[in-house]
Amino acid sequence: MLRFEMSMTLPSAARSLRREVFMEEQGFSYEFDDTDNRALHLVLFDGEEAVACCRMFPEGPDSWHIGRVAVKEERRGQHLGEAVMNEAEAALALKGAKKVALSAQVQAAGFYKKLGYVQVGEEYLDEHCPHVDMEKLLGSAPAGAKEGTK
């Protein structure tokens, strides 16, 4: 059974999942930072197993940033990343957020585009990996979405 947990501190389940995905699988060195101390952390569990997570932090009075979106490798393709993003956006809307920004790995930009995010600015490197900044106005439908479709 899938369930979400939100925390004001970095849960060990999110720490383990992020280490597995970003450091061990993708080779990033600088995964954990001071932002973790001021972020909200969202973890999606399937039973007792953490299968996806993200963190959220304010960038302004009505603007938030979602980052460190991670899905367990063997669970990809099951729409868990989409579930985490939808839950995070809903939580941020309740906090009065009108805009959400993120830094997407270029290889994942299409995923965020399907969720209604648009690229702002040029491609850049974060550690060894190409990224682009993206943003979405909350309350806007994903690009290409039609009424009655998922």
CATH number of the domain to which 127 belongs:
3.40.630.30
Residue 142 lies in a domain: no
Type of residue at 90: A
Q: Is the pLDDT of residue 149 over 50?
A: no
pLDDT of residue 141: 52
Residue 150 lies in a domain: no
pLDDT tens by residue, 68-121: 999 999 999 999 999 999 999 999 999 999 999 999 999 999 999 999 999 999
Q: How confident is residue 146, by pLDDT bands cut at 50, 70 and 90? A: very low
Tell me what percent of the residues of the chain surpass a pLDDT of 90.
87
Residue 51 lies in a domain: yes
Q: Say how many domains are in the chain.
A: 1
Residue 7 lies in a domain: yes
Q: Which residue range(s) make up the domain with 99?
A: 2-137
Residue 148 lies in a domain: no
Tell me the CB-side half-sphere exposure of residue 22, using CA atoms within 13 A.
Answer: 23
pLDDT, greater one: 149 or 109: 109
